Amino acid sequence: MGRIHRYEGEKIIVEFEFGRCIHTGDCTRDLPEVFNVKRAGRWVHPDAAPVEDVVRICAACPTGALRCLDKISGKTMHHVPVENSIQCIADGPLYVHAEMTVNGKTQPMHRVALCRCGASALMPFCDNSHKVIDFRDAGQVGCPLPGEASAAAVLAVSSTPDGPLMIEGPFTLLDAAGKAVGKSSKAALCRCGASKMKPYCDGSHNQIDFKAD
């Protein structure tokens, strides 16, 4: 999704994929000694905090733009989540936390932000267009999923042309407050922004003549 910037520390390398970042500010707020865009020169300083703190903040980056590699082995320092989850963010995207593929491509991190307003130019990923179009949805889930317990397995996310996001694989659905509202292994989630049953697709993409790959 774009150039990857590498910031080497003594023991770790922090990678930053600019194209995935939607500037939530989580990293700069939670670990400003390491992530600081106001500082002159490079904005990531991996040695300015304990390694475990840098790894924890990178693992929590909601879009998967940040990741940590062990400097000696070159391997990722992040673990596959014990449970897959998809969270509706108020007036914003879907946050997916899982080992996953998106349109058949294995994702380098266990987190991505997916568009649900219909306006992203980076479909199916969020590019912050929800702010430009003033997308409004509280991220509540009126109709819980009746499902079975989820276990760790690779989640397959795919975008149907001019239609919803198809989810296959076990996941827990979370509302904007982070409350689990159900589990499932298959769902069609709205990405056009017009559904009256968000986060689920209700076919409204046909009425608004939604166009997206």
Interface contacts to ligand FES, rule CB under 6 A: 163-164, 190-192, 194-195, 201-205
Return the residue matching tokens 């922090």: 14
Q: How far, in Å, CA of 151 to CA of 149, rounded?
A: 7
Q: In the bound complex, what is the minimum distance in angstroms from residue 167's beta carbon to ligand FES?
A: 13
Peptide bond into 124 cis (omega under 30): yes
Shortest Cβ distance from residue 159 to ligand FES (Å)?
A: 9
Closer to ligand FES by Cβ: residue 69 or 94:
94
User: Least distance (Å) from ligand FES to the CB of residue 119?
Assistant: 12
- The smaller minimum CB distance to ligand FES, of residues 102 and 190, is found at 190
Please state whether 97 falls in left (phi above 0), alpha (psi between -120 and 50) or beta: beta
d(CA 165, CA 63): 17
Least distance (Å) from ligand FES to the CB of residue 57? 33
Please, which residue, 66 or 192, has the CB nearer to ligand FES? 192
CB of 195 to ligand FES, least distance (A): 4
Whose Cβ is closer to ligand FES: residue 64's or residue 199's? 199
Contacts of 141 (CB under 8 A, 6+ apart): 88, 173, 175, 181, 182, 199
Nearer to ligand FES, 120 or 150 (CB): 120
Cβ within 8 Å of residue 38, ≥6 positions away: none
Strand partners, 96: 86, 112
